[in-house]
Each structure stands twice: as structure tokens, then as C-alpha cells.
Amino acid sequence: MRTGVFVCSCGPNIGDRIDIEKIADEVSGIEGVVLAETHGLLCSPDGKKYLEERIKENDLERVVIAACSPREHEITFMKVCETAGLNPFMMQMANIREQVAWVTPDRESATRKALKLVRGAINRTIRHKPLEKTSIVCNPEIVIVGGGIAGMSAALLLADADRKITIIEKNSSLGGHPGNKDLAAHFCEAVKERKEITVITGCEPEEIVGFFGNFIIKPGEDIEEIRAGSIVLATGCMVDDNGRDTAPDGFRKMTEMLRITTDENGFPGREHASLAPVSTPIDGVYVTGCAGGLCSPGEAVSRSEAVAGTILSSLIPGREVETEPRTSVISETLCRGCKTCLEVCGYGAISFDDERLVCTVNSVLCKGCGNCAAACPSGAIKSQHFTPDQIRYQMAGLLR
Ligand code: SF4
Ligand code: SF4
């Protein structure tokens, strides 16, 4: 086992408060550590190049980076490992900036604490296993829920770009409750003439699972499921007893299925109110027309133009999206079919197998959040890359 340890000074951020040379020196004696070095700024272009070269020159099999929060640079360093030919999951970060340098004023205590974190990380890597990334091709089709002015105008714009669109409308015909009947009638005629647009009326989505590039929508009983890369919510709003505009019940159900946070009136939150007003926090799900709050027919069309533009620039035919390799796995032997995991999974990734009476994880849908593993009363679920064994080893190194 050939482990390399790199302790970053992060300019003055870490180096001024922790004795990084001492850390490198101390860990160099640990079994399996073939190299322990310090660097001024590992995330800089020079730092990344240095790291890549050191991995290659020393045939490193495991890498520990003592630096900032993984939230900031884990992906950066994983990419460097990959470029150097090392599986990125053989790298572990120890956060000695946010968790030590910035919160522990005494240099000696800070150095001691940082050393423990680095030892923990080194020990953890002993139990790391290479995980393989897979990617799946994005589905360029689009489902639009709501066949009013907003939904139809979005569909027509997308059809102009040769995309296939399915409009799901809960009423028996398109049109909605238009503020401009002439415009609605004009759009209805135009939609009928477009071969790229399929219209399903008299139903609402009953089940939506998936993620950007690969959603699966089940529009009511006896209707075949639809696969699409993006979903546009284009339903109208209604007025409640207090005169407030609120989202209709079917819409609330959809936001729940898509796990989109909503405001007190049931309208979806936005990725950014002014920079991305038609994007929800869920990748690939957009809102237009009154689904984003009451608006005029003209505004509805403008919102649909923004939605169409965003979809055409992000959901590109042939584009591949990487799936998360750090997924959960359920042991069929240990699972007793209580379905607790199914209830806590926020991504619709778990289903119940009626024949075997156990739950299973769809690895394409799983985001590796670990909720299910924490909730399972039988210990039947293992989160890959966060196994009890890996955590135990890390703790053992830390408490030495
Ligand atoms: S929570 Fe555990 S025991 Fe219950 S169904 Fe899920 S995997 Fe099986
Ligand atoms: S790890 Fe999270 S996303 Fe994956 S199956 Fe468990 S709860 Fe669902």
C-alpha cells in the first residue's frame, strides 16, 4: 500500500496557525506512507500539477490531502487523481482549515488536533475501495405539465428546435383558463399541426422519479410512462377563500413528487429569484406561466421563452450525465421488508419488490445521501464509501 500525504498551507490560512512541517514529519513514519510533503497552495494550477506529478512519480495507491473543506475542493483533487491515473475514491481529505486553523487559536493545540485528523484520514484510506463512475445519455425530450397559453407556447418554441414534447393536461382539452382567448385558440391550432408535440388530456402525473436528463413520468392509470430529460410545470393557479393566489392541489402533489421546496402558497422555490427565475432548485425542472405565480398572457409567453432557452442550452442531445458511484446497497438477506428506507429516500430511489418482499435501490436514481442507511432498523443498507468499517478505521486513527 503506497500512501502519499500532502499538507497544504493554504497561503497563510493554515500555515500561520498550524505547524504543517511537523505534521508531515510525524505522519511520514506511519506504515504505508511513502511520502509526506507540504505545499503552499495545492488548489492552484501549480499545486495541482505538482500533485499530479507526485502521484505518478511515486506510483501512489492512496492519497491524503490535509487542507480545506472537502466541500470546497474535494472535486478539484479527485479530478487531479483521475488525471494522474488514480481512482479518485482512493483520495481522502482532512479538513484542517475550517475544522482546525480557523477555530483553534493556540498553535500547539491546533497542530495536535490537525495531526489527529490526518491520522484518521490515512487510516480510513486503508479501507477505501475504488468505485467506478458511469454515465448515461440525457434524454432530449421534454414533458410539459399544463396545456394553457404558457405550456403551449413553451411546447411550440421547443418544437421549433426539433425537440419532442409531451403536454399533459388535466382537462379534456388544451387552452386552460386563458386571459386572452384568441391567443389560446391560436396556440391550440398551432399545437395540433406540430408532429413533434404529443398531447395527453384528462390526467395528471401520478408518479415522477428521476433526475435531470432522465425523468420517468407516469401520467395516470393505463397510460404508458413517459421518459424525458426535463419537466416544465405550466399549470395555472387558483384563488383561495382569502383571495390569495395559490397553487392547485395537483400541482402541490407534483412538487412533493419532485421534492421541490414551495412557499406558503404552494408555488415552487427558484434556484435564484433574479438570475434563474424559471429554474427550480431541482436540475431540469422549470416553471412557467401561473405555475410561478399569477401573470398576464404576455408574461406567460415571456416566461416560456426563458424556459425554452434554458432547456435548449442545457439539455443537449447526446450529452452524458455522470451517475453517483457512492450509492447505497441493500442486503437482501438482512432486509426484513419494513419499507422504512422507502419512506425516507427523498429521491424515489428505493422500491419494494413484491415477490421477494425486500427493498431495492435503483443506483441510477440514488444520490448517496445515506438517509436510508441511517434509518434502516436491520442494518441492511450499506452506503458505499461511507461504510461502518471505513468510519471505524477513521475513528481509530483519530483516537490513537
Ligand atoms: S429499512 Fe432496512 S429492513 Fe426495512 S425495508 Fe429498508 S432495507 Fe429492508
Ligand atoms: S442513499 Fe439517499 S438517495 Fe440513495 S437510496 Fe438511500 S435515501 Fe435514497
Pocket test for ligand 2, best of 331, 335, 366 (most atoms within 8 A of CB): 366
**Which CATH topology does 137-314 take?**
FAD/NAD(P)-binding domain (3.50.50)
3-state secondary structure the chain: CCEEEEEECCCHHHHCCCCHHHHHHHHCCCCCEEEEEEECCCCCHHHHHHHHHHHHHCCCCEEEEEECCHHHHHHHHHHHHHHCCCCHHHEEEEECHHHHHCCCCCHHHHHHHHHHHHHHHHHHHHCCCCCCCCEEECCCCEEEECCCHHHHHHHHHHHHCCCCEEEEECCCCCCCCCCCHHHHHHHHHHHHHCCCEEEEECCCCCEEEEECCEEEEECCCCCCCEEECEEEECCCCEECCCCCEECCHHHHHHHHHHCCCECCCCCECCCECCCECCECCCCCEEECHHHHCCCCHHHHHHHHHHHHHHHHHHCCCCCEEECCCCCEEECCCCCCCCCHHHHHCCCCCEEEECCCCEEEECCCCCCCCCHHHHHCCCCCEEECCCCHHHHHHHHHHHHC
What number of CA atoms fall less than 13 Å from residue 324's CA on the CB side? 22
Is the distance from the beta carbon of residue 368 to the nearest atom of ligand 2 less than 6 Å?
A: yes
What number of CA atoms fall less than 13 Å from residue 371's CA on the CB side? 16
pLDDT of residue 71: 92
So what CATH class is 3-131?
Answer: alpha beta
Burial of residue 62 (number of CB atoms within 10 Å: 0-12, 13-18, 19+): buried
Is the distance from the beta carbon of residue 365 to the nearest atom of ligand 2 less than 6 Å?
A: no
Going by their DSSP bridges, the two strands 358-361 and 350-353 should be labelled as antiparallel
Residue ranges covered by each domain of the chain: 3-131, 137-314, 328-384
CA 179 – CA 25 distance, rounded (Å): 74
Is the distance from the beta carbon of residue 349 to the nearest atom of ligand 1 less than 6 Å?
A: no
Is the distance from the beta carbon of residue 43 to the nearest atom of ligand 1 less than 6 Å?
A: no
Is the distance from the beta carbon of residue 281 to the nearest atom of ligand 2 less than 6 Å?
A: no
What pLDDT digit, counting tens, does each position of 287-337 carry? 998 877 778 888 989 999 999 999 999 899 998 888 889 999 999 999 999
pLDDT of residue 339: 96
* pTM metric for this prediction: 0.72
Tell me the ligand closest to 371's alpha carbon. Answer: 2
Reported as a pLDDT band with limits 50, 70 and 90, residue 62 is very high
Place of cell 504543517: 20
Report which ligand 2 atom has the smallest distance to the Cα of 370.
Answer: 1
CA angle (25, 26, 28) in 5-degree steps = 65
Which residue, by CA, sits nearest to atom 1 of ligand 1?
376
Checking phi first, is residue 234 left (phi over 0); if not, alpha (psi -120 to 50) or beta?
alpha
Does residue 250 have a pLDDT over 80?
no
What pLDDT digit, counting tens, does each position of 38-51 carry? 999 999 999 999 99
Angle, helix 181-193 to helix 149-160, in steps of 10 degrees: 40
241-272 burial, b at 16+ Cβ within 10 Å, e below that, comes to: eeeebbbbeebbebbebbebeeeeebbbebee
Report which ligand 1 atom has the smallest distance to the Cα of 350.
Answer: 6
Question: 135, 114, 180: which is closest to 153 by C-alpha?
Answer: 180
pLDDT of residue 112: 97
Give residue 348 CA to ligand 1 midpoint distance, Å.
15
Does residue 171 have a pLDDT over 80?
yes
CA 299 – CA 288 distance, rounded (Å): 9
**Which CATH topology does 328-384 take?**
Alpha-Beta Plaits (3.30.70)
Give residue 331 CA to ligand 1 midpoint distance, Å.
9
CA 289 – CA 299 distance, rounded (Å): 7
Which residue, by CA, sits nearest to atom 8 of ligand 1?
335
pLDDT of residue 264: 80
CA angle (159, 165, 170) in 5-degree steps = 125
Does residue 57 have a pLDDT over 90?
yes
Going by their DSSP bridges, the two strands 214-218 and 197-201 should be labelled as unpaired
What number of CA atoms fall less than 13 Å from residue 159's CA on the CB side? 21
pLDDT of residue 126: 95
pLDDT of residue 163: 97
Is the distance from the beta carbon of residue 371 to the nearest atom of ligand 2 less than 6 Å?
A: yes
Is the distance from the beta carbon of residue 373 to the nearest atom of ligand 1 less than 6 Å?
A: no
Contact call for residues 96 and 67 (beta carbons, < 8 A): yes
What pLDDT digit, counting tens, does each position of 341-372 carry? 998 987 778 889 999 999 999 887 788 999 99
pLDDT of residue 249: 73
What pLDDT digit, counting tens, does each position of 63-119 carry? 999 999 999 999 999 999 999 999 999 999 999 999 999 999 999 999 999 999 999
pLDDT of residue 26: 97
Residue of 312 and 221 predicted with greater confidence: 312
Give residue 372 CA to ligand 2 midpoint distance, Å.
6
Report which ligand 1 atom has the smallest distance to the Cα of 375.
Answer: 1
Give residue 105 CA to ligand 2 midpoint distance, Å.
38
Tell me the ligand closest to 358's alpha carbon. Answer: 1
Question: 84, 83, 86, 63: which is closest to 8 by C-alpha?
Answer: 63
Question: 294, 260, 307: which is closest to 280 by C-alpha?
Answer: 260
Which residue, by CA, sits nearest to atom 8 of ligand 2?
345
Residue of 172 and 346 predicted with greater confidence: 172
pLDDT of residue 190: 95
What pLDDT digit, counting tens, does each position of 18-42 carry? 999 999 999 999 999 999 999 999 9
Give residue 256 CA to ligand 1 midpoint distance, Å.
23
Q: What is the mean pLDDT of the chain?
A: 91
Reported as a pLDDT band with limits 50, 70 and 90, residue 239 is confident
Is the distance from the beta carbon of residue 366 to the nearest atom of ligand 2 less than 6 Å?
A: yes
pLDDT of residue 276: 66
pLDDT of residue 346: 75
CA 28 – CA 64 distance, rounded (Å): 12
Give residue 383 CA to ligand 1 midpoint distance, Å.
13
